[in-house]
Amino acid sequence: MKFNINIFKNHKKKFLRIKTIVKAVITTLENFKENNANINLILTDKISVKELNKKYLNHNYETDVLAFRLDDEKLEGEIYISVDTAISQAKEYKVSLTNELSRLAIHGTLHLLGFDDNTKQKKAEMQKIEDKILFKINTRNEQN
């Protein structure tokens, strides 16, 4: 397996558990038997994500994660995560920031793999997969 996961931190928040977030992406890829991927994971602010959402998807609103597939043949893409939104959601859902960032990284990776969440059923399916992968990651972390 060859995974090239590049992290770009464009946010002032310190002490983000980058290794755990990368592990979330890799575990998702392994779960779907992907052998090769080149993914840029950009941790940024809500303003940048909103601008990207408007510019590329014509959605004039904030969102927590955006994923762009850059190549149709090989798995190459970018995942933009709003750290600001993740902080708010972590408080709302009463989970750690690392847990919420990992969930968003998984969600973005699922989009790169072709999953969509444009219906309630598809969104529920993605959430089920996210829960399964988070459980797997958290179980591994407890064993280490």
Residue numbers of the domain that contains 70: 2-143
Taking the C-alpha atoms of residue 95 and residue 67, their distance in angstroms, rounded to an integer, is 23
Q: Output the domain CATH number for residue 135.
A: 3.40.390.30
Beta bridge partners of residue 6, listed in sequence order: 40
pLDDT score, position 142: 62
pLDDT score, position 144: 54
**Shortest CA distance to 43 belongs to which of 23, 20, 61, 65?**
65
Query: Using one digit for the tens of pLDDT, what is the confidence trace for 51-104?
Result: 999 999 999 999 999 999 999 899 999 999 999 999 999 999 999 999 999 999
**Shortest CA distance to 125 belongs to which of 135, 111, 115?**
115
pLDDT score, position 71: 94
Find the mean pLDDT for residues 23-44: 96
* pTM exceeds 0.85, yes or no: yes
Q: What are phi and psi of 2, to 5 degrees?
A: -130, 105
* Contact (CB, 8 A) for 130 and 28: no
* Residue 11: pLDDT band with limits 50, 70, 90: confident
**Shortest CA distance to 108 belongs to which of 74, 53, 67, 51?**
67
Number of domains in the chain: 1
